[in-house]
Structure 1
Amino acid sequence: METFEEDEFCFPQLLNSSCRKTMLSPSVFLLSYVSLSFISLLTVTLNLLVIIAVSHFKKLHSPTNTLLLSLAVSDCMVGFLISFQIMLLDGCWYLGDSMCALYVVLDYAVTSASIGTMVLISVDRYVAICYPLYYPSKVTDTRTKICVFLCWMFAFLCHCLLLKDSLQKPGRYNSCFGECVVVLDYGGGIVDLLLSFIGPVTAILVLYLRVFVVVVSQAQAMKSHVATVSLQGSVTVTAKKSEMKAALILGIVVVVFLICTCPYFCVILMAEDAEVSASSVTFLLFYFNSTLNPLIYALFYPWFRKSVKLILTLQILKSNSTDTFVL
């Protein structure tokens, strides 16, 4: 009986100062373990395929794909972070207070970088569809890489400042050994809400709304022009269908993004103090957006399917494989 009671503590040797484990039934534990492991593996695998494809094939080196690469890197890191959620199934943190603080900061920064990259992608698509003549001169590889660098740097600096108390004194908010809790005060929660959710979502919605308006207006103009010039009309129809497909993908991205991120930020908004627990359920839904991103952004494009086939068949190991035409 004494052994059973000791097994309920994260650190049995510490007894009264140790946190108690979360007691789960074997079936619930197994289901949670398998589900999280599958999501983690799928997230890392899909995003690694995007990273390898965009990095390896020269034909894919473009401003738009540089943004997809940034998104894939952040989402791949999120996939690795899910492994910490697997470790926390029993409610215990075994890696120490410093690792807890670093984990939470990294989690915040990486997910913010992912959201920031989505904003950059929306800007890229906005310029490409609304101002196609200016796109080659305005959106260059160099400018895109600078924007991506600034996005990542801002995400890390911002959240290091917001969570500096926990970085300076790790574990200050823990009530017992084996707990991983970081508290973001009300002001910090509002700042994070504005910079990581309200601001990006507003920008994305405004830009995507403008894209839809342009596509619809051009489609209407195209219909009136088809009757006059049949050949030109057929070419225009093809172009407009491509634009409508791009607009549809963007709409799907917005809906999925809102579904996956709203619950977490609603918790932050409603709480007087945003207590960030590493085992928070809302984190899991937030993480799952990183699993869906490569499916939405990459699987809709034929070049991704061709690249995956070449990667899985090890064709990329051949000489001059970087010059393979995958578009």
Structure 2
Amino acid sequence: MNSEFIEALEQIQKDKGINKDILIDALEAALISSYKRNFGTSQNVRVSINRENGEVHVYSQKNVVDTVEDELLDISLEDAKAINPKYEIDDVIESEVTPKNFGRIAAQTAKQVVVQRIREAERDVVYDQFINRESDIITGSVSRTAKGIVYISLGKTEAVLAPSEQMPTEQYNHGDRIKCYIFEVKRTTKGPQIALSRTHPGLIKRLFELEVPEIHDGIVEIKSISREAGSRTKIAVTSTDANVDPVGACVGPKGGRVQIIVDELKGEKIDIIKYSEDPIEYITSALSPAKVINVDIDEELKTAKVIVPDYQLSLAIGKEGQNARLAAKLTGWKIDIKAESQAK
């Protein structure tokens, strides 16, 4: 290798942001393995690359010991002092053993190391870019599907929308642009893996934060979300300003804000209710749109017995129990619903 190699590393440092010294350190470590593999030796060696002209030198290393157990690794104190009287026990003696044709091996190894490091650096850039966006929304386009998995193009990388994170009511076609929730970013041997979701409650939260300025500004707060993706969501909101109606802020003028979110979720119904510290009031609101006559709670068991008019029973329970199930999940209370005639 020569000074042109050093210039190439400096250009990589400039273009890719990979420190030249880090590349040289990695190359020196890789050349130790290359030397041992190509020259069939188990001796300890050190490889040094000149930072200015790119020259490569290999040095064998031997430990100064009282008793030599392996001549490839050890040298006696007597023999060491014959080389230099200053040597003592535990010192390391180096001697150059650079093979004549080692430059060719070094060049091949350098190419492999540099390519690998550039690949790793690019993966690190992608990881750093997306690890800070966990729990956020991102827009991408459907690039392909395989074995039920939908791959979403995010520019320089692809993310994964697993079957369990796909909405049952949606079809994902090549080129479709969709908003997804980033719920996990992790390092793997093949680079960063970005896991997306269309079913996560966090998607609802972030969509409302994007569409409702009062939530973004902290005036309206989302207290709880319960969701059955593709079908129905209940969201409880409260306001830190008595003059701001949290439900009205989320619904928006003529229902415009919530409609944008419903459209993004392909028609998923969204019930927005006002949060209350009073569990009776909160449970009553959570069962909306059903009307409630009475709520009897057991705070110790955190259970609630709810009485509704007979004609409201099916509405309160919901199709296949969905309304009651979502209300229970939203409030954190176990809810038992009975018709007025049953209660009497």
TM-score, reference length from structure 1: 0.19
Greater fraction strand: 2
TM-score, reference length from structure 2: 0.18
Greater fraction helix: 1
